[in-house]
Structure 1
Amino acid sequence: MTALQTRLTELTGVRYPIVQTGMGWVSGPELTSATANAGGLGILASGTLSHEQMRAGIAAIKDRTELPFGVNLVGSAPDVEERAKTLIAERVAVASFALAPQERVFRLLKDAGIVVIPSIGARRHAEKVAAWGADAVLVQGAEGGGHTGAVPTSLLLPQVVDAVDIPVIAAGGYFDGRGLVAAMAYGAEGIAMGTRFLLTSDSTVPEHVKQRYLQAGVDGTVVTDQIDGVPQRVLRTPVVQQLVSEGRGPRALVRSLRSAVALQREVGSSWPSVIRQGLEMRRQRSLTWGQLMMAANTPMMIRTGMVEGNIELGSLASGQVTGLIEDLPSCRELIERIMAEAELTLGRLAG
């Protein structure tokens, strides 16, 4: 293999070691298939879809590409095992997880020959899922958008690479070929990008929302737990500034209850299943009851911003890297540019 053909490309069957992350309300069939057709690993986000919507999304991707792609599942979802069986029936190449499911779901997918790639934010989590048989892990550092930890990618990545012997994918702060080479120098076998793929012409995010991202500087994001009780990185929008200043109180509780009702209707879940998922999230992520009550805020606020295009009321998950992005290429243009930059960088380092 050449330097830019790695265990990740061999494992997943894609041409380039570049992953488009599963972003709720963003990573739909259009973006996922465009990434796959460009040679990367596209991931369909299913956490904000009903089971039937997920099935329809997989069919829509297959109509657009014959190349490998993945589906992101929520490990705490009550129907995660049924969804896993759908991935098996549909012969999806990769199953990724924002939160690791129970070990039996891992085994179910692996026994069917599906590549399992959980996302982790700490060395101990990587060691745990590697022991379960994960095929690779995606490591997101603090620079990444959405829910994130406090350790920068440059510190977390080598820690995880040294701890496990499976392919490690680096996420958080990547947008170009130089970053790909830097990640590989640390021992990663590929990079994953969310914000950079959100800001492409293939993304279905409204154009005026994309322009808001392009206008942001490297200091244009903030990490806050005032949206759903768990730290996440978002753009500094009016509603986020208001939430940060207000803190938690009766108004936050009312907003959370409204979000929970809206989310339940959107994905077609029954209230017992919503409650079961919440309790599982609380167990896996050690949430307080207050954090659990706020959990539905994020998906509905992201929907308001990313789907409805309401910047004033929605939240816009974003990595710090948004301050370095200046254009909206197609997925193909983006990936080809990254690979060309990586080749040039390797050539320069060689001499």
Structure 2
Amino acid sequence: METALTRLVGIRYPIVQTGMGWVAGPRLVSAAANAGALGILASATMTLDQLRAAVREVRSRTDAPFGVNLRADAGDAGDRVSVIIDGGVRVASFALAPSRELIGELKEAGVVVMPSIGARRHAEKVAAWGADAVIVQGAEGGGHTGEVATTVLLPQVVDAVRIPVVAAGGFFDGRGLVAALAYGAAGVAMGTRFLLTSDSTVPDAVKARYLAATVRDVTVTRAVDGLPHRMLRTELVDSLERSGRTRALVRAVRRAAGFRRLSGLGWRQMVRDGLALKHGKELSWSQVLLAANTPMLLKSAMVDGRTDLGVMAAGQVAGVIEDLPSCAELVERMIAEAGEIIGALPGAGASMRG
């Protein structure tokens, strides 16, 4: 299945495994890459040394192209870009729009720049700055998300830019892939669906919690960090929503201090990152502090398996996923299903080129 995305990146299939903090490590990324998809490492929860080691490990596990996701507003973003370039990483993915200078540095080194965006104007901006492709996440997607559904946002962006557009938010099977291609996308990006594979290192008890969820168990809350955050509804989420500001801040300080020790970041750099997060958003300083708390809440569930102490970012598709295939089985199943659907369309030819 060849599309503008597969030609740009050099992958077999137009499927992207997104960079999920504490989830998208070397094992999952290399498995996705070996399956013919684009695997993306999540670096925001790694130190620089951990990122270097993770890049080396992925390269030892696969010869296929892969990417690294990073926060464009992080204080050490320039150092992480250097790791990407030195490590021969094919794709740089950004959770927020990177600066024109970062895009230029990466492109000069031959790295494909593919930011994630949640609005048409953001896609237009990064395209004008030289981005090679964009991942468009609609409201159905997990983690921090917007209010516009993928089916509305995607065609807006496809019409607005002349670079490959990858659709994210609400995709989990071959039907969704065909739908995205019909909208004009060059492929789909999936987080929750790859989290729920046998190659994911997320603890089994946490995966079971996801598999048991219905679509009504996936909610959007601002209680975690002051920003709209799509996740599974749990007793902890209910408790955070009921907590007063003082109690929430005490929790945030404790966990932010834990993240500082774990990540190796100093308080000064965490404050700089908080300032970058606050920029352009109507966040109080208490919400900025809560945002520093988020990585530890995610780690509690995704690494430690404590569903009672952590949060579980989730796309709405968590409510319809029922199995744990390997990455290879998932990708093969999606491509086979997409081929059958395309082949059954009236007037469809044998080619699956997009």
Is contact 2:274-2:292 (8 Å) kept?
Answer: no
Unaligned runs of 5+ in 2: 348-354
TM-score (norm: length of structure 1) = 0.97
Instruction: Kindly state the Cα deviation for residue 43 of structure 1 after the two structures are TM-superposed.
Output: 0.2
1:97 alignment partner AA: F
1:258 corresponds, among 254, 258, 271, to 254
2:92 corresponds, among 85, 88, 95, to 95
User: Following the alignment from structure 1 to structure 2, what is the Cα–Cα distance between the partners of residues 312 and 139?
Assistant: 32
User: Following the alignment from structure 2 to structure 1, what is the Cα–Cα distance between the partners of residues 160 and 55?
Assistant: 34
SS in 2 for 1:223: strand
SS in 2 for 1:295: helix
Question: Aligned residue for 1:271?
Answer: 267
1:264 alignment partner AA: R
Question: Aligned residue for 1:290?
Answer: 286
User: Following the alignment from structure 2 to structure 1, what is the Cα–Cα distance between the partners of residues 209 and 293?
Assistant: 21
Question: Aligned residue for 1:330?
Answer: 326
SS in 1 for 2:345: helix
User: Following the alignment from structure 2 to structure 1, what is the Cα–Cα distance between the partners of residues 204 and 97?
Assistant: 33
Is contact 2:117-2:135 (8 Å) kept?
Answer: yes
Question: Aligned residue for 2:351?
Answer: none
Instruction: Kindly state the Cα deviation for residue 112 of structure 1 after the two structures are TM-superposed.
Output: 0.6
User: Following the alignment from structure 1 to structure 2, what is the Cα–Cα distance between the partners of residues 285 and 337?
Assistant: 41
- Percent identical among aligned pairs is 60
- 1:211-222 pair list within 5 angstroms: 211-222=208-219
Question: Aligned residue for 2:29?
Answer: 32
- 1:93-242 pair list within 5 angstroms: 93-242=90-239
Is contact 2:270-2:292 (8 Å) kept?
Answer: no
Q: What is the number of equivalent residue pairs in this alignment? A: 347
Is contact 2:17-2:39 (8 Å) kept?
Answer: yes
Question: CA RMSD, aligned part only?
Answer: 1.0
Question: Aligned residue for 1:42?
Answer: 39
User: Following the alignment from structure 2 to structure 1, what is the Cα–Cα distance between the partners of residues 325 and 183?
Assistant: 28
Gap change, CA 1:206 and 1:301, over 3 Å in 2: same
SS in 1 for 2:64: coil
User: Following the alignment from structure 1 to structure 2, what is the Cα–Cα distance between the partners of residues 85 and 290?
Assistant: 33
- Most deviating of 269-278 and 91-100: 269-278
Runs (4+) of structure 1 moved beyond 6 Å?
none
Is contact 2:141-2:169 (8 Å) kept?
Answer: yes
User: Following the alignment from structure 2 to structure 1, what is the Cα–Cα distance between the partners of residues 280 and 262?
Assistant: 24
Question: Aligned residue for 1:348?
Answer: 344
SS in 2 for 1:266: helix
User: Following the alignment from structure 2 to structure 1, what is the Cα–Cα distance between the partners of residues 217 and 187?
Assistant: 27
Question: Aligned residue for 1:319?
Answer: 315
Q: 1:5-30: per-residue Cα shift (whole Å, max 9, x none)? A: 11100000000000000000000000
1:5 corresponds, among 2, 6, 13, to 2
SS in 2 for 1:205: coil
User: Following the alignment from structure 2 to structure 1, what is the Cα–Cα distance between the partners of residues 102 and 189?
Assistant: 23
User: Following the alignment from structure 1 to structure 2, what is the Cα–Cα distance between the partners of residues 233 and 38?
Assistant: 28
Instruction: Kindly state the Cα deviation for residue 103 of structure 1 after the two structures are TM-superposed.
Output: 1.8
SS in 2 for 1:296: helix
Is contact 2:97-2:122 (8 Å) kept?
Answer: no
Instruction: Kindly state the Cα deviation for residue 241 of structure 1 after the two structures are TM-superposed.
Output: 1.3
1:310 alignment partner AA: R
- Most deviating of 280-289 and 52-61: 280-289
Instruction: Kindly state the Cα deviation for residue 289 of structure 1 after the two structures are TM-superposed.
Output: 2.2
User: Following the alignment from structure 1 to structure 2, what is the Cα–Cα distance between the partners of residues 265 and 7?
Assistant: 42
User: Following the alignment from structure 1 to structure 2, what is the Cα–Cα distance between the partners of residues 20 and 350?
Assistant: 31
Q: 1:248-277: per-residue Cα shift (whole Å, max 9, x none)? A: 410011111112111111110122211111
TM-score (norm: length of structure 2) = 0.96
Gap change, CA 1:137 and 1:286, over 3 Å in 2: farther
Instruction: Kindly state the Cα deviation for residue 285 of structure 1 after the two structures are TM-superposed.
Output: 4.4
SS in 2 for 1:75: coil
User: Following the alignment from structure 2 to structure 1, what is the Cα–Cα distance between the partners of residues 342 and 282?
Assistant: 43
2:342 alignment partner AA: L
User: Following the alignment from structure 2 to structure 1, what is the Cα–Cα distance between the partners of residues 64 and 280?
Assistant: 33
